[in-house]
Chains A and B, each alone.
Chain A
Amino acid sequence: MKLKAPERVTFNKSGFCPGCGHGVAGRLIAEVAEEMGLADKLITTVDVACGSLHLEDWHFDTVMAAHGRTLVTAIGLKKVRKDNPVLAYYGDGAGYAIGMAETIHAGLRNDNVIAIVVNNAIYGMTGGQMAPTTLPGQKTTSSPYGKDAARFGKPFRIEDAYSGFDIGYLARGALVGAANINRAKKMIRKAFEKHMNNQGLCYVELLSPCPTNWNLAPLKAKDFLLDEMTKHFPLGEFKGGDAK
């Protein structure tokens, strides 16, 4: 089988750390956009966090939003560019800490955009502080003895928060291992298809390794993701999938 990453992600080299999942996410978005013939029309928004490095390494019309305002910026763009696919790309810190209000209201209104949320259970860019997604007991720079879930809460799960909302699509994939990555691509493809049918908020969360801030070598980070993270963040489709 012939496989070549799209030019629009290979024209430059990325600034992500070794083993970071953001690179895989960027390629999957580019592959789906190219395969659907939408790459020239796609408008993306990126957040002031590690995902913003895509500004340098993907060729899509892109707006950099303020931290946590990536999703609402995309919603605004979609209102004035109704014929363009619009995709918001941001992390768990952006979506579930500073941008929680945006996350909830977008779900409540079922706004017509694609959201790709890279969940690495941590604030990556700022040096690995605890996020609402941090696992119980996980050591971070702001929870050096391990996260106390009784005090700071259990890892935030979007499928619980959105359980009462009728949104277009909700799924969680993972960015490690070829089988998971293939499945994540199918989820992104479904989000794009439903978005082109104006089915409302099409949301894919992607579990992603952050070897640097987890203080783990990339292959150990992969194990941590598969063995520990998936206990709290099950993979699969929650809304608008084939299962239901």
Chain B
Amino acid sequence: MEKNRTDVTRCKGCGYCVAECPKQAISFGDHMNAKGYLTIVVDQEKCIRCGSCYRVCPDYVFEIL
């Protein structure tokens, strides 16, 4: 089930979300976006919709559904 929709075209690879997630549901994948940043992937199983990633992301990548 999709809980956390991401727009990784916006991601700048800062890593704040990875450090903040209490469930270790976010990691860096192998996709590089058009800006040249390595982007994140969310494990939808592990996500508990706490919203922490949404709050810390400076580039508005996350939408919690």
Interface set of A (CB-CB < 8 Å, partner B):
1-5, 9-10, 13-14, 16-24, 27, 176-178, 181-182, 211, 217-219, 222
Chain A residue nearest to B35 in the complex (CB): A13
Q: Would B60 and A18 count as touching, CB distance under 8 A?
A: no
One of B16, B62, B64 near A219 (C-beta < 8 A) = B16
Q: Would B37 and A18 count as touching, CB distance under 8 A?
A: yes
Q: How far is the CA of A19 from the CA of B56 in the complex (A)?
A: 9
Q: How far is the CA of A4 from the CA of B57 in the complex (A)?
A: 12
Chain A residue nearest to B7 in the complex (CB): A10
Q: Would A1 and B59 count as touching, CB distance under 8 A?
A: no
Q: Would B16 and A222 count as touching, CB distance under 8 A?
A: yes
Q: Would B60 and A218 count as touching, CB distance under 8 A?
A: no
Q: How far is the CA of A210 from the CA of B52 in the complex (A)?
A: 21
Chain A residue nearest to B21 in the complex (CB): A178
Greatest chain A CB density within 10 A among B19, B52, B55 is at B55
Q: Which residues of A contact B52 (CB under 8 A)?
A: 178
Whether A219 contacts B15 in the complex (CB less than 8 A), given A24-B58, A178-B20, A178-B55, comes out as yes
Contact string, B3-16, partner A, CB cutoff 8 A, digits 1/0? 00000011011111
One of A3, A21, A177, A219 near B51 (C-beta < 8 A) = A3
Q: Which residues of B contact A18 (CB under 8 A)?
A: 12-14, 37
Q: Would A181 and B16 count as touching, CB distance under 8 A?
A: no
Q: Would A27 and B16 count as touching, CB distance under 8 A?
A: no
